[in-house]
Amino acid sequence: MGPIVLASQLATGIGVVATAMLVKSAMEGGKTMAGSGAWRPRCAACNGTGRVACLCSRWSDGDLGCRTCAGSGRMPCRSCGGSGTGRPLPAQISMRSSRSP
């Protein structure tokens, strides 16, 4: 094989890898996908980070650390459970029959 053929194959390979990376970043887009394929919004409480300020940092006198945050001052978000995505609220719907027994 000549150098032109090798250069052409290398350029094609680089193009394929770059296209795959571009498609992957476009598909993720900073959002995660649920199992059904639907996009899930970011959590409003933690803005999608999955972590919020720990209670020990709110009432601390300068030192940080407890078992919940392991000294980082940040604990998992209670609204999303640390996932960073919004969770649907469970709703219970009750139906009454209009027929008499």
Confidence class of residue 4 from pLDDT cuts 50, 70 and 90?
A: confident
Q: Which residue did the predictor score with more confidence, 46 or 1?
A: 46
Residue 34: closest CA among 88, 81, 82: 88
Q: Taking all residues of the chain, what is their mean pLDDT, rounded to a whole number?
A: 77
Give the pLDDT of residue 34: 44
Which residue shows structure tokens 């650390």?
A: 65
Q: Which two tokens stand for residue 70?
A: 């392991």
Reported as a single tens digit per residue, the pLDDT across 5-54 is 888 888 888 888 888 887 877 776 654 444 444 567 888 888 888 999 88
